[in-house]
Amino acid sequence: MKNKKENSKSAAGSAERDELNRKAKLLGIKYIDLKYDFAFKTVFGTPGNEDLLKMLLDSILPEKHIQSVELGPQEQQGDSFESKRVIYDIRCQTEYGPINIEMQFGERDEFSHRMVYYASRAVSKCVQKGIDDYTLPETYVIGIANFILPEVAPNDKIINKYALINREDGRSLMNNTLNFVTVELPKFLKGVDELSNETDIMLYLIKNMGQLKARPEKMKDKNLDKLFEVSMFANMETEAQSRYLDEMMWEIDQSAMRKYALKKGLAEGLAKGEAKGLAKGLAKGRAETIAEIARKMQADGLTLEAISSYTGLSQEEIRALQ
251-274 core/surface letters (b: 16 or more CB in 10 A; e: else)? bbbeebbeebbeeeebeebeeeee
Asked whether residue 214 falls in the same domain as residue 89, the answer is yes
- 145-169 average pLDDT score: 85
Which range, of 40-49, 69-78, 81-90, 237-246, averages the lowest pLDDT?
A: 81-90
Per-residue HEC secondary structure of the chain comes to CHHHHHHHHHHHHHHHHHHHHHHHHHCCCCECCCCCHHHHHHHHCCCCCHHHHHHHHHHHCHHHCEEEEEECCCEEECCCCCCCEEEEEEEEEECCEEEEEEEEECCCCCHHHHHHHHHHHHHHHHCCCCCCCCCCCEEEEEEEECCCCCCCCCCCCCEEEEEEECCCCCCCEEEEEEEEEEEEHHHCCCCHHHCCCHHHHHHHHHHHHHHCCCCCHHHCCHHHHHHHHHHEHHHCCHHHHHHHHHHHHHHHHHHHHHHHHHHHCHHHHHHHCCHHHHHHHHHHHHHHHHHHHHHHHHHCCCCHHHHHHHHCCCHHHHHHCC
Domain count, the chain: 2
Asked whether residue 72 falls in the same domain as residue 96, the answer is yes
- 32-48 average pLDDT score: 92
**Which range marks the domain in which residue 258 is found?**
237-320
Query: Is residue 138 in a domain?
Result: yes
Report the alpha-carbon distance of residue 96 to residue 176 in Å, rounded. Answer: 13
Asked whether residue 43 falls in the same domain as residue 138, the answer is yes
Query: Is residue 275 in a domain?
Result: yes
Cβ atoms of 165 and 172 within 8 Å: the answer is yes
Specify the pLDDT at position 79: 46
Query: Is residue 16 in a domain?
Result: no
Mean pLDDT of the chain: 81
> Which residues fall within 8 angstroms of residue 318, CB to CB, at 6 or more apart?
294, 298, 304, 307, 308, 311
Specify the pLDDT at position 83: 45
Query: Is residue 83 in a domain?
Result: yes
Asked whether residue 293 falls in the same domain as residue 179, the answer is no
Query: pLDDT tens, 229-240?
Result: 999 999 999 999
Specify the pLDDT at position 76: 58
Query: Is residue 153 in a domain?
Result: yes
Q: Is the pLDDT of residue 307 over 60?
A: yes
Asked whether residue 164 falls in the same domain as residue 281, the answer is no
Query: Is residue 298 in a domain?
Result: yes
Asked whether residue 212 falls in the same domain as residue 101, the answer is yes
Report the alpha-carbon distance of residue 121 to residue 109 in Å, rounded. Answer: 19
Query: Is residue 310 in a domain?
Result: yes
- 251-270 average pLDDT score: 63
Which range, of 70-74, 96-100, 172-176, 266-270, averages the lowest pLDDT?
A: 266-270
Tell me the pLDDT band of 292, cut-offs 50, 70 and 90. confident
Cβ atoms of 289 and 254 within 8 Å: the answer is no
Chain centroid to CA 92: how far? Answer: 22
Which of 192, 209, 231 finishes a domain?
231
Query: Is residue 28 in a domain?
Result: no
Specify the pLDDT at position 122: 78
Residue 254, phi then psi, degrees to nearest 5: -65, -40
Report the alpha-carbon distance of residue 253 to residue 281 in Å, rounded. Answer: 15
Give the CA distances from residue 96 to residues 63, 83, 116, 137, in Å, rounded to whole numbers and listed in that order. 10, 36, 25, 11
Asked whether residue 81 falls in the same domain as residue 197, the answer is yes
Q: Is the pLDDT of residue 133 over 50?
A: yes
Residue 35, amino acid: K
Which of 231, 254, 276 finishes a domain?
231
Report the alpha-carbon distance of residue 279 to residue 266 in Å, rounded. Answer: 10
Specify the pLDDT at position 72: 82
Strand 97-105 with 75-77, pairing: unpaired
Tell me the pLDDT band of 80, cut-offs 50, 70 and 90. very low
Asked whether residue 107 falls in the same domain as residue 248, the answer is no
Q: Which residues pair with 173 in a beta bridge?
A: 165
Which of 186, 205, 231 finishes a domain?
231
Q: Which among 25, 31, 32 has a CA at the least distance from the CA of 247? A: 32
Q: Which residues pair with 88 in a beta bridge?
A: 103
Cβ atoms of 300 and 28 within 8 Å: the answer is yes
Residue 214, amino acid: A
Give the CA distances from residue 57 to residues 25, 138, 199, 203, in Å, rounded to whole numbers and listed in that order. 32, 15, 9, 11
Specify the pLDDT at position 10: 64
